[in-house]
Chain A
Amino acid sequence: NAGVTQTPKFRILKIGQSMTLQCTQDMNHNYMYWYRQDPGMGLKLIYYSVGAGITDKGEVPNGYNVSRSTTEDFPLRLELAAPSQTSVYFCASRSGTGSSYEQYFGPGTRLTVT
């Protein structure tokens, strides 16, 4: 199992550009999450999904969009990038069945908007 994979690892965007951060998991997990981590801070939830076709906003959704057309993929779309979106983005997944709530994180995408 590759677990949770993210692409790209690094990206530099100019203000106003758009991009999609890719996230894929091969564990057949129902739940998937997108977080951002600013320097010296904890993780803030952007969006989450409880299954294919279902998404919902987290704490900091403004400026982002998501879709979940398959169980495996959960892309995060940034429209009109702003410097405030400079951050490290982590995707995570968890099973949603059984008693475990453990989240498995991807390696992260470091995004700089200049």
Chain B
Amino acid sequence: GENVEQHPSTLSVQEGDSAVIKCTYSDSASNYFPWYKQELGKRPQLIIDIRSNVGEKKDQRIAVTLNKTAKHFSLHITETQPEDSAVYFCAASGNTGNQFYFGTGTSLTVIP
């Protein structure tokens, strides 16, 4: 099966700075890579996703980049705000999308 590794496990940034979270995956057949945000005690919620036929996708302050050759993808958050503080999970899905494999999460703290 797929193996997804995520780094760093914790990240602290000053408000207004950028945050970058990186994930690697092992199965070259994976073709869908979502990022989820989970606030304390809440359910995970999709914030952005990317398909393997796209190298970069942006949605306001959030962007995701994908390097298929190196099998890694990254989440970029610019102009961070205190409400960005949460745990972020990356995931990868095989070519059928039947199973999703999650990274172990990054706890992001934005310091006002």
- Tell me the nearest residue of chain A to B9, going by C-beta: A40
Contact A33–B100 (Cβ < 8 Å)? yes
Q: For the complex, count residues of B whose C-beta is within 8 A of A.
A: 23
Q: Chain B residues with Cβ under 8 A from A40's Cβ?
A: 104-105
Contact A43–B43 (Cβ < 8 Å)? no
The 8 closest A-B pairs by CB, nearest first: A42-B102, A105-B43, A43-B102, A42-B104, A101-B32, A101-B97, A102-B46, A105-B44
Q: Which one of A12-20, A44-52, A74-82 is at the B interface?
A: A44-52
Q: Chain A residues with Cβ under 8 A from B97's Cβ?
A: 31, 94, 96, 101
Give B residues with C-beta under 8 Å from A: 1, 4, 6, 32, 34, 42-46, 49, 89, 91, 93, 97-105
Q: How far, in whole Å, are A45 and B92 apart by their CA atoms in the complex?
A: 12
Contact B43–A108 (Cβ < 8 Å)? yes
Q: Which of A64-114 contact B (CB under 8 A)?
A: 90, 94, 96, 101-103, 105-108
Smallest distance from the beta carbon of A111 to chain B beta carbons, Å?
Answer: 15
Q: How far, in whole Å, are A48 and B94 apart by their CA atoms in the complex?
A: 14
Can you name 10 A-B pairs with beta carbons within 8 Å?
A40-B104, A42-B105, A45-B99, A48-B98, A101-B32, A101-B49, A101-B97, A103-B34, A103-B46, A105-B44
